[in-house]
């Protein structure tokens, strides 16, 4: 069950004791920490059965191939994919999104088409669509974000027309924390014949995500934000869509037959996995999924609601602190971005660091959103399974120190 003190014991970095002050890690939105089970699974691969996959007819290569494909099935079950062939391993969410923009996008987006995204997207779910639209003569439209950090759904409805071919939207904002009304968005987009891509980089680590129940068409996410290693990401899409898509990258492992005249492509999912993949990282991601499943995604979401409730309450008592995004924990995830009077977020972050509190300061790869709110930067504290209310208390003590030093 969900016992945070016990969870903390599973994360070596949170138990080092060697730093001048204990680490309060509040930057899991950028990258989560890793439990021993994930670190050891990768270590064991390198020590005991390191070999390339899908090619060696010898024991350790077969063991590596089995472990690699077993992870794919774990990931497929984790998001309730119909079929493990729908799980494509990439480097990260960014690569997954670019894969869709180049492969599906080049084949399907024509002059005059419209791609809808939102004002609160991470650059990774924004620039690929701008580039695709520029290449093919299409237009990108942005669902506005209200002052309170919600999507303007009336504006979205007004944008819908038969020209809309894709709606690409985050399932949880990395800046505002906003969880948009995804069911509604998917239903309305499908009604005009558009496909829906969800950027799950923040949602998949933090809440239950079921692609069949959602009835979305694409889902992109990263391993390193969900307790897994860096260098591994996932693209899920419906099998018939993936089958119709041309390869993104070409080379070894993604072919069926090659001759000097031309080539034919491997079956799914390998058609989209050219070259030697990130084997250790895929195996590590499988163990991360096991860890999350043991805790239970419903419990993880509930823990997030609890800690965000406490954090919003405590932060609201800090003088001059302004929080961006929904004020109701049920409508948001664990990323809380704020400004503190007119103290620069880099100063806030540096002073918090001197207290052992790690937060992020900057535009969080969402420059247009910050511009919209008239800001160059915010400070962001983000919470995950190993954070407690006492981490919130340390954050608030650090912010009081900022006020004493700078205000
Ligand atoms: N989409 C969202 C919503 C994200 O939060 C991020 C990373 C990405 C896409 C891209 O993920 P990547 O693994 O391909 O880099 N977000 C952040 C962040 O907020 N701070 O650092 C990375």
CA atoms within 13 A on the CB side of 407: 15
Strands of the sheet containing 218-222, edge to edge, are 87-90, 233-237, 218-222, 195-199, 164-170, 114-118, 139-143
Catalytic member of 4, 255, 297, 365: 365
Closest-CA residue to 225 (of 31, 12, 1, 21): 31
Mutate to test the pocket of ligand 1, among 122, 170, 199, 335 (most ligand atoms within 8 A of CB): 122
Return the percentage of the chain with pLDDT > 70, whole number.
Answer: 99
pLDDT at 396: 98
18: confidence class by pLDDT, cuts 50, 70, 90: low
Name the residue with tokens 């004493």: 404
C-alpha 310/C-alpha 319 separation (Å) is: 17
Sign of CA dihedral 366, 369, 371, 376: negative
Interval 127-151: pLDDT, tens: 999 999 999 999 999 999 999 999 9
C-alpha 133/C-alpha 129 separation (Å) is: 6
Helix (H) or strand (E) holding 340: strand 335-340
Interval 334-369: pLDDT, tens: 999 999 999 999 999 999 999 999 999 999 999 999
Domain 4-30+296-406, CATH among 3.90.1150.10, 3.40.50.720, 3.40.1000.10, 3.20.20.70: 3.90.1150.10
Once rounded to an integer, what is the mean pLDDT over residues 262-280?
98
Interval 81-125: pLDDT, tens: 999 999 999 999 999 999 999 999 999 999 999 999 999 999 999
pLDDT at 288: 99
Mutate to test the pocket of ligand 1, among 93, 117, 379 (most ligand atoms within 8 A of CB): 93
Q: Is the beta carbon of 174 within 6 A of some atom in ligand 1?
A: yes
Q: Is the beta carbon of 116 within 6 A of some atom in ligand 1?
A: no
For the chain, first and last CA: distance in Å? Answer: 43
Show the tokens assigned to 223. 């391993």
pLDDT of residue 17 exceeding 90, the answer is no
pLDDT of residue 1 exceeding 90, the answer is no
Q: Is the beta carbon of 203 within 6 A of some atom in ligand 1?
A: no
- Cβ partners under 8 Å of residue 351, min gap 6: 398, 401, 402, 405, 406
pLDDT of residue 19 exceeding 80, the answer is no
Task: Give the residue extent of every domain in the chain.
Answer: 4-30+296-406, 40-293
Closest-CA residue to 134 (of 143, 126, 145): 126
pLDDT of residue 16 exceeding 90, the answer is no
Distance 30 CA to ligand 1 centre (A): 6
How does strand 164-170 pair with strand 195-199?
parallel
C-alpha 130/C-alpha 117 separation (Å) is: 10
Distance 171 CA to ligand 1 centre (A): 12
- 402 included as an active-site residue: no
**Using an 8 Å Cβ cutoff, are 366 and 172 in contact?**
no
Q: Is the beta carbon of 155 within 6 A of some atom in ligand 1?
A: no
22: confidence class by pLDDT, cuts 50, 70, 90: confident
Domain 40-293, CATH among 3.40.640.10, 3.30.360.10, 3.40.50.9100, 3.40.1170.60: 3.40.640.10
C-alpha 275/C-alpha 164 separation (Å) is: 34
- Work out the mean pLDDT of the chain and round it to a whole number: 97
Distance 227 CA to ligand 1 centre (A): 14
pLDDT at 56: 81
């Amino acid at each position: 069950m969900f016992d945070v003190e016990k969870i903390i014991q599973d994360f070596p970095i949170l138990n080092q004791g060697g730093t001048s002050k204990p680490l309060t890690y509040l930057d899991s939105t950028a990258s989560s920490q890793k439990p021993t089970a994930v670190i050891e699974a990768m270590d064991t691969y390198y020590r005991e059965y390191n070999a390339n996959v899908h090619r060696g007819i010898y024991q350790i290569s077969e063991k590596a191939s089995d472990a690699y494909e077993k992870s794919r099935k774990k990931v497929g079950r984790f998001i309730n994919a119909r079929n493990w062939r729908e799980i494509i391993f990439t480097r990260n969410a960014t690569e997954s999104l670019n894969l869709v923009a180049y492969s599906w996008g080049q084949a399907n987006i024509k002059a005059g088409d419209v791609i809808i995204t939102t004002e609160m997207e991470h650059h990774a779910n924004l620039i690929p669509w701008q580039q695709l639209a520029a290449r093919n003569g299409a237009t990108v439209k942005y669902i506005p974000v209200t002052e309170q950090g919600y999507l303007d759904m009336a504006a979205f409805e007004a944008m819908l027309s038969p020209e809309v071919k894709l709606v690409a939207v985050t399932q949880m904002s990395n800046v505002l924390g906003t969880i948009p009304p995804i069911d509604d968005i998917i239903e309305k987009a499908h009604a005009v014949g558009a496909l829906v891509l969800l950027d799950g980089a923040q949602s998949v680590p933090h809440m239950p995500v079921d692609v069949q129940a959602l009835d979305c068409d694409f889902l992109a996410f990263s391993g390193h934000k969900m307790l897994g290693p860096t260098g591994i990401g996932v693209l899920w899409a419906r099998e018939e869509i993936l089958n119709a898509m041309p390869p993104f990258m070409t080379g070894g492992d993604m072919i069926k037959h090659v001759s000097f005249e031309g080539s034919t492509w491997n079956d799914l999912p390998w058609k989209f996995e050219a070259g030697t993949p990130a084997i250790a990282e895929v195996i590590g991601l499988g163990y991360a999924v096991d860890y999350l499943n043991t805790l239970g995604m419903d419990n993880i979401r509930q823990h997030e609601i609890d800690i965000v409730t406490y954090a919003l309450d405590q932060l609201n008592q800090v003088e001059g602190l302004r929080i961006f995004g929904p004020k109701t924990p049920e409508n948001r995830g664990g990323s809380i971005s704020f400004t503190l009077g007119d103290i620069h977020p880099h100063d806030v972050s540096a002073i918090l660091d001197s207290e052992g509190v790690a937060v992020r300061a900057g535009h969080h790869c969402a420059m247009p959103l910050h511009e919209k709110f008239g800001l160059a930067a915010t400070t962001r504290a983000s919470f995950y399974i190993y954070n407690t209310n006492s981490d919130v208390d340390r954050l608030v003590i650090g912010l009081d120190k900022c006020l004493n030093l700078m205000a």
